[in-house]
Structure formats: C-alpha cells, structure tokens
C-alpha cells in the first residue's frame, strides 16, 4: 500500500506524470518477484535515481519541460540501455563485488541523494520561482 503513493511521488519529483510512477513501480515489482534472487527481497520504487531522472528530463525537456515527448523517449531509451547493462552484470556474476563497497561510501551516497532532493525543494518551500 505504501509503494503506490511513493511511486507517484517519485514520478512527480522526477518531472514525470504520476501514472508513469505507478506503472514503473508495478513493472519493477513483477519483474523483481519473477527473477529476483530471494523471496525476502522487497521490490519497489527507490529515491536514489530521482536526481538522475530529473536531470535527464530537464536536460532533454527544457527547464519547464517544453519538449516532454523528447525527454520521455530519451528516458525510456536510457532505461533500456541500463537494463541491458544490469542484466549482463547479473549474468556475469558481478553482483558479488557489491560487498566490497565500504559502508561509509553507501552512507555518503545515501546522504548525498537526500541532500540533493532536499535542496531541489527549498525554492518551492520558500515560494521562490
């Protein structure tokens, strides 16, 4: 029940339509449950890629998303490229190297993402346009 509003919020924060968040969250959950490695893993929307997706949408769609169709088609294309890369990494067994990433790097990444998301919302909070 939490994943649906979370997916909608992530879509809006990324500059997409809320429907895209719902569809993306549903597709990710189905694919994750079918091909995932453990029945205890949870699949759903995460906030780590919001700044990346938002950056793609702004870069290819303009500051006010004047070219929404171009930005969206580019985002879909990049998503397919990422999927192919991740599938290749999974098949080749590169996932075992994730355990070599120090905990401080993971924490720093998470804090950086949180800070980036918070800073992009400050102007809305203060009513600055």
Q: Could you give the CA distance from residue 68 to residue 11 in angstroms, rounded to a whole number?
A: 14
Packed helices 3-14 and 18-35: angle between N→C axes, nearest 10 degrees: 120
CA terminus-to-terminus distance, the chain: 34
pTM above 0.85, yes or no: no
Retrieve residue 101's tokens: 């990433």
Q: Average of pLDDT values for 11-26?
A: 84
Contact assessment for residue 46 and residue 9, using Cβ atoms and an 8 Å cutoff: no
* 70-110 pLDDT, tens digit each: 888 888 898 889 889 988 988 998 888 888 989 999 889 88
Of 49, 35, 43, 54, which is closest to residue 82 (Cα–Cα)? 49
Q: How confident is the model at residue 45 (pLDDT cuts 50, 70, 90)?
A: low
Give the model's pLDDT for residue 102.
Answer: 92
| CA–CA separation, 125 and 71 (whole Å) | 26
């Amino acid at each position: 029940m939490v994943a649906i509003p979370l997916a909608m919020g992530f879509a809006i924060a990324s500059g997409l339509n809320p429907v895209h968040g719902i569809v993306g969250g549903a597709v990710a959950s189905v694919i994750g449950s079918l091909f995932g490695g453990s029945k205890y893993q949870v699949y759903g929307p995460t906030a780590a890629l919001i700044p990346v997706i938002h950056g793609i949408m702004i870069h290819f769609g303009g500051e006010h998303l004047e070219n929404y169709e171009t930005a969206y088609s580019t985002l879909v294309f990049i998503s397919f490229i990422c999927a192919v890369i991740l599938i290749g990494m999974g098949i080749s067994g590169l996932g075992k190297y994730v355990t070599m990433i120090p905990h401080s790097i993971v924490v720093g990444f998470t804090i950086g993402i949180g800070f980036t998301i918070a800073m992009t919302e400050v102007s809305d909070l203060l009513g600055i346009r």
